[in-house]
Structure 1
Amino acid sequence: MVRKKNVQRIQDEIARLQGELDAHRKAESERLGDLAVKAGLADIEVADRELLTALKAVAAKFQGSPDNTVRAA
């Protein structure tokens, strides 16, 4: 007989994975923020909407590339 996971165990697993996802997103946010500052984005005056549009264009450029790694100078 196959024993199914109980609901609480599944909810605990979801909560654990959500914690991992949140931690990963925070780390990536910090990494990207540091890169943005190094690139000089903290020193320009631009509307958030305009900057978001430009960043989406950059993301699209690299998402379509077979080798989306960038070498730091």
Structure 2
Amino acid sequence: MASIDLDKVLDSAWADKSLPEILAAPVAALKGVSDRDGELLEEAFGVKTVADLANLKYARWAQALAALNTAK
């Protein structure tokens, strides 16, 4: 399993939290995602948490398409 540098993907306030805490965190815990972005994700897709975003079917579909493209 690949490792991830949490300092690169999380706002500093979340970097020392446990994985369950991060998954339950608002999407604004992700570096580069603003509170307003989080509001828009909730409004458009019902996404409230990092886990919700990870499980968003549209994000999963896009990842699958990208993976198919790199498998060429």
Decide: shared fold, TM above 0.5: no
**Structure with max Cα Rg:** 1
The higher relative CO (CA closer than 8 Å, separation ≥ 6) is in 2
Normalised TM-score (structure 2): 0.33
Normalised TM-score (structure 1): 0.33
